[in-house]
């Protein structure tokens, strides 16, 4: 084997072999061209238009988002180039109303938005992609002059917070799903005189919508209240059932005279109508969309707690159609649970992602599985 000077192969024109010379030059040119094109492309990948940030999505088992933190300045126009390396992902930034998806493997999705509010926002995956999908989150930090902490919302009452994870049992269940459609006429008949046509209240009696005074009262409480006799005033005994319904029942006034001729199912229907007047169709629709995107994978499309993601969680997801449990909880309780998350049960913490309006919408939609609140 003789080597000689390798450069001679290229630069010294082989005697009388013009074809060989052309071949050598063009082969080297071709290879250099390939390398140059690749380098140019690789550079182009990183140094494109101002403030273009590349974000790669992978299943959490393979690393999740390529960046856990994205920092931009307030007032900037941000351009995210998101692509997936394995399966279909989704992308959204909580409280900023930014959404993109599906992020398909091998394709680049570009998201553009104005970072006009300072603070910390959570970006997260919105399409179930992995047993740990709910952990696929990162932080978008918008640096600005006014550093505000994320909107904090209040829990309705301290009592509620302490008992967030207590077991719940309504004790009574309606025979059929309560229906606001059936309950509203009854309400108009019997209750509107004091409580106002839409339950908005009059000087004689308070407003009754579930978001007004009933925030920390459960449907079961109100069901018992409707049957509470004057003798039970001041007690938390549930009439006819001999069981303590809940401490909240203690404060509620007796309503037995007004509901004497109503059967149990009718009372439930009226309770459903109380929930119904506290929300709107648009709210429920928003809640539905949010539920499908964020909750259905574990809790199931029909709310039965049987979604495909549930089997990977430490605890089986809650069954929203289980009236016995659901009707014993209050709006404040469920709002707080969603906001706080599940403390190791697998239920994610949504407090940094949902706005108050979104939280309310989701809770109202979830009520629909146990209470027929649609009008």
What's the distance, CA 333 to chain centroid?
16
| Binding residue (CB under 8 A) for other proteins from 159, 161, 193, 292 | 292
Q: First CA to last CA across the chain, in angstroms?
A: 91
Smallest gap from Cβ 109 to other proteins, in A, equals 9
Nearer to other proteins, 79 or 177 (CB): 79
Rounded to an integer, what distance in angstroms lies between the CA atom of residue 213 and that of residue 6? 89
32 binds other proteins (CB under 8 A): no
Nearer to other proteins, 176 or 292 (CB): 292
34 binds other proteins (CB under 8 A): yes
Helix axes 219-226, 264-277, angle to 10 degrees: 130
Nearer to other proteins, 70 or 298 (CB): 298
5 binds other proteins (CB under 8 A): no
Q: Pick the closest to residue 296 from 237, 245, 250, 365 (CA basis).
A: 365
Smallest gap from Cβ 122 to other proteins, in A, equals 20
Q: Pick the closest to residue 107 from 36, 57, 67, 37 (CA basis).
A: 57
What's the distance, CA 246 to chain centroid?
29
Nearer to other proteins, 134 or 249 (CB): 134
- DSSP character at residue 230: G
Phi-psi region of 262 (alpha: psi -120 to 50; beta: other; left: phi over 0): beta
| Sole window of 80-88, 193-201, 252-260, 351-359 interacting with other proteins (rule: CB under 8 A) | 80-88
| Binding residue (CB under 8 A) for other proteins from 66, 67, 79, 85 | 85
Using the structure block, give the residue that is written with the tokens 């509107």: 192
- DSSP character at residue 309: G
DSSP β-bridge partners for residue 113? 78
User: Residues with Cβ < 8 Å from 364, sequence gap 6 or more?
Assistant: 275, 278, 279, 283, 284, 287, 373
| Sole window of 29-37, 212-220, 346-354, 363-371 interacting with other proteins (rule: CB under 8 A) | 29-37
Rounded to an integer, what distance in angstroms lies between the CA atom of residue 223 and that of residue 220? 5
318: its two tokens:
């809650």
24 binds other proteins (CB under 8 A): yes
| Sole window of 139-147, 188-196, 234-242, 305-313 interacting with other proteins (rule: CB under 8 A) | 305-313
Q: Which of residues 99-158 bind other proteins (CB under 8 A)?
A: 102, 104-108, 127-130
23 binds other proteins (CB under 8 A): yes
| Sole window of 160-168, 179-187, 201-209, 299-307 interacting with other proteins (rule: CB under 8 A) | 299-307
Q: Which residues bind other proteins (CB under 8 A)?
A: 1-3, 9, 14-17, 19-20, 23-24, 26-27, 30-31, 34, 38, 41-42, 44-45, 59, 81, 83-88, 90, 102, 104-108, 127-130, 292, 295-301, 307-309
């Amino acid at each position: 084997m003789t080597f000689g000077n390798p450069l001679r192969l290229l630069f010294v024109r082989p005697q009388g072999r013009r074809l060989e010379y052309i071949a050598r030059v063009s082969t080297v040119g071709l290879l250099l061209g390939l390398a140059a094109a690749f380098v140019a492309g690789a550079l182009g990948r990183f140094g494109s238009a101002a403030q273009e940030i590349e974000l790669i999505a992978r299943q959490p088992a393979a690393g999740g988002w390529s960046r856990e933190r994205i920092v931009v300045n307030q007032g900037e126009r941000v351009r995210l180039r998101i692509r997936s390396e394995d399966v279909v992902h989704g992308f959204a930034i909580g409280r900023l109303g930014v959404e993109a998806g599906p992020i398909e493997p091998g394709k680049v999705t570009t998201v553009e938005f104005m970072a006009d509010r300072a603070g910390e926002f959570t970006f997260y995956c919105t399409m179930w992609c992995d047993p740990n999908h709910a952990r696929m989150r990162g932080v978008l930090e918008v640096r600005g002059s006014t550093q505000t902490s994320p909107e904090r919302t209040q829990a309705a009452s301290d009592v509620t917070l302490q008992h967030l994870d207590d077991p719940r049992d309504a004790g009574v269940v309606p025979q059929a799903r309560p229906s606001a459609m059936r309950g509203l006429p009854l309400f108009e008949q019997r209750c509107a005189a004091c409580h106002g046509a839409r339950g908005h209240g009059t000087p004689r009696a308070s407003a009754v919508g579930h978001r007004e005074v009933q925030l920390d009262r459960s449907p079961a409480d109100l069901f018992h209240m409707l049957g509470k006799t004057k003798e039970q005033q001041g007690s938390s005994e549930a009439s006819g059932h001999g069981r303590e319904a809940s401490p909240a029942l203690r404060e509620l006034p007796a309503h037995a005279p007004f509901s004497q001729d109503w059967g149990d199912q009718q009372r439930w229907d009226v309770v459903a109508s109380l929930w119904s007047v506290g929300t709107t169709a648009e709210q429920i629709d928003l809640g539905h969309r949010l539920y499908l995107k964020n909750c259905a994978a574990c809790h199931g499309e029909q709310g039965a707690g049987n979604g495909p993601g549930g089997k990977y969680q430490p605890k089986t997801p809650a069954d929203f159609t289980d009236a016995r449990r659901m009707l014993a909880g209050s709006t404040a309780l469920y709002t707080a649970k969603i906001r706080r998350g599940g403390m190791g049960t697998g239920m994610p913490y949504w407090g940094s992602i949902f706005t108050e309006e979104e939280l309310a919408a989701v809770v109202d939609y979830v009520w629909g599985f146990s209470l027929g609140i649609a009008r």
